[in-house]
Chains A and B, each alone.
Chain A
Amino acid sequence: MLKIENISKRLGKDQILKNVSFEVAPGEVFGFLGPNGAGKTTTIRIITGLLEQDEGKVTVNGHDVVEERSKALTQIGAIVENPAFYPYMTGKQNLVHAKNLIPGLGDVDYEALARLVGLEGKLSKKVGEYSLGMKQRLGIARALLHNPRVLILDEPTNGLDPAGIAELREYLRAMARDQNIAILISSHMLGEMEQISDRYAIIDQGVIKSVESVRNETGAKISIRVSKAATAEVIEVLRNANYPAEQWNDQIMITAPEEECPAIARLIVPMADLHELTIKRMTLEEQFLEITKKEGDSHAFAHTK
């Protein structure tokens, strides 16, 4: 649905993006993560036609954003950076303005749209009187106005309260699932992204460092707990069986795939009481920090909730 192929962008002397590639499939919520200044917004600006890449290609449903601008952008709904509106116009007038920007778009049920984003009865108010959260909701309503096939949201939870964030999360997931929309969300709110995304890409210093499934096995560890007296002996047995085992507080951590659990249990049970055996996956935050700090020169700074 949305395909980014080897895009590079230089602004002045700075190489902002280097060979950035990833795809977002229909029905998928794709997280686009990175520290501030990593190139997230530049990538989004290229996808939405605000900026032209030096190299590479962005296609939406097969249409090149540069070559077939109108066809490509008609299928994109987006909030880039902050949702911006004309403050002296009402919410509805702002939506009518957005509708007029889409050639050939028929009638729009503005009230239904307002219900969808929780702005029932608020569209007649001037946007200058809206809270930041209401503006975010109106921004999402505007992005959805023309039933886009690809939705791009840059930091969409900014200004939303916890209940609003949870509501938006459920709404976006349902929309991706029910309407088969490809959703790209850029954020540095890793806790949120972990709950909402199916897959994610981490960008740092203009380079895609990793594209993973949120529930991936990268960095997964098997954690076991045996009696204190048997811990040292168990570690030795595991190491002799080529399992890299280390003691961590009262637990033994083994870096091994999930499939090794039965074999590990069989090794331990004859010699010690096995109190606990669990699989510990890295959180998105841990994965993010590991990837962005791997090279030691990143300015990564992750916000979590």
Chain B
Amino acid sequence: MLSLIQNEWMKWWTMKKSKIVLAIYVLIAIGIVIIAKTNDIDFTRSEFYDLTSIILITLLGIITIVFTAEAIGNEVRYDTMKHLLMSPYSRMTIYFSKLVFSILLMLGQFLLIVLISYVLSFTFSEAGDPLVMRDTWLLLVSPIFTIFMTLFFSLLFRSVGMIIGFTVLAQFFTTIAGSVLLAFKPGLAKWIVFMHLDWSMYFDQSLEAQLVNPMDTTLTFSVIFVLAHILVLLGGSILIFQKKSYT
């Protein structure tokens, strides 16, 4: 499987957009420093870190959809899927190599974002609240879930555009539906998985009041609910990939 992950890395790293994306993370973070400094915005270290990391991790969510969609979508686009499937590796191994690579790739970018935000935060004052990393790590839940969902859609649609479109739309509309339900029928909102992807709501008092209490949910419920969805998406993906014919 390691050689298959190496292949995924080679395919990703050879694309120009991989380097462009990494450069964008750095440029955005530096841009925020420049804007803050030139406009005399008095950020503390933790304020800068929180703002920059949230902006970049939101961007990472979109980038993760694109790269994960391309992991399978490009094989269909270039008709190279048949070469993967003709190899002695099983379909299951091929699927898992793409899944593991997508998670590793997202984690790599996540760590880069944390590193840039952390290092650049030293250009600001130490005053104010201390820098807390806990909420940053909790933000990982959403992109991990997105990977499983995007890979599932990758097996339903042939074009990269369709995969990205459906993943974004599914996230967008379900989150809107969740927000509407939260306002009018909060008890039902807890049955929408996208309402459980930000686990920092259990550690932040204002979010607890806005989300956790109306939905009457717990961290244990969120963890189980998200894991159950991941298992369904994984099982569905494996079933489809085992049977799917790429002609």
| Contact of B79 with A82 in the complex, beta carbons under 8 Å | yes
Given A84-B78, A84-B80, A89-B14, verify A103-B3 contact (CB < 8 Å): yes
| Contact of A73 with B78 in the complex, beta carbons under 8 Å | no
Hey, what's the 0/1 contact readout for B74-85 against A, CB within 8 Å counting as 1?
A: 100011101111
Enumerate A28-56 residues with CB–CB distance to B below 8 Å.
45, 48-51
Complex partner residue of B82 from A50, A70, A73, A96, CB under 8 angstroms = A50
* Residue A69 interfacial (CB < 8 Å): yes
Given A85-B80, A101-B4, verify A80-B11 contact (CB < 8 Å): no
Provide the bound-state CA to CA distance between A89 and B11, in Å.
Answer: 8
Hey, what's the 0/1 contact readout for B95-108 against A, CB within 8 Å counting as 1?
A: 00000000000000
Interface residues on B, range: 20 to 34
| Contact of B245 with A51 in the complex, beta carbons under 8 Å | yes
Provide the bound-state CA to CA distance between A48 and B81, in Å.
Answer: 13
Given A93-B10, A97-B10, verify A49-B15 contact (CB < 8 Å): no
* Residue A78 interfacial (CB < 8 Å): yes
Enumerate A68-127 residues with CB–CB distance to B below 8 Å.
69-71, 73-74, 76, 78, 80-82, 84-89, 93, 96-98, 100-103
Provide the bound-state CA to CA distance between A89 and B74, in Å.
Answer: 13
Enumerate B44-90 residues with CB–CB distance to A below 8 Å.
74, 78-80, 82-90
| Contact of B4 with A88 in the complex, beta carbons under 8 Å | no
| Contact of A50 with B86 in the complex, beta carbons under 8 Å | yes
| Contact of B78 with A101 in the complex, beta carbons under 8 Å | no
* Residue B205 interfacial (CB < 8 Å): no
Total A-B Cβ pairs within 8 A: 71
Query: Residues of A contacting B210 with CB < 8 Å?
Result: none
| Contact of A103 with B88 in the complex, beta carbons under 8 Å | yes
| Contact of A73 with B3 in the complex, beta carbons under 8 Å | no
* Residue B123 interfacial (CB < 8 Å): no
| Contact of A101 with B82 in the complex, beta carbons under 8 Å | no
- Nearest residue in B to A74 (C-beta to C-beta)? B88
Given A70-B88, A93-B14, verify A101-B7 contact (CB < 8 Å): yes
Query: Residues of B contacting A48 with CB < 8 Å?
Result: 86
Complex partner residue of A100 from B7, B85, B245, CB under 8 angstroms = B7
Enumerate chain A interface residues (CB-CB to B < 8 A): 45, 48-51, 69-71, 73-74, 76, 78, 80-82, 84-89, 93, 96-98, 100-103, 142
Q: List 15 A-B contacts (CB under 8 A).
A: A48-B86, A50-B85, A69-B88, A70-B90, A73-B88, A80-B82, A84-B83, A88-B14, A88-B16, A93-B14, A97-B7, A97-B10, A97-B11, A98-B83, A100-B6
Please list the 6 inter-chain residue pairs (A to B) with the smallest Cβ-Cβ separation, ordered nearest first: A84-B79, A101-B87, A100-B3, A70-B88, A73-B88, A48-B86
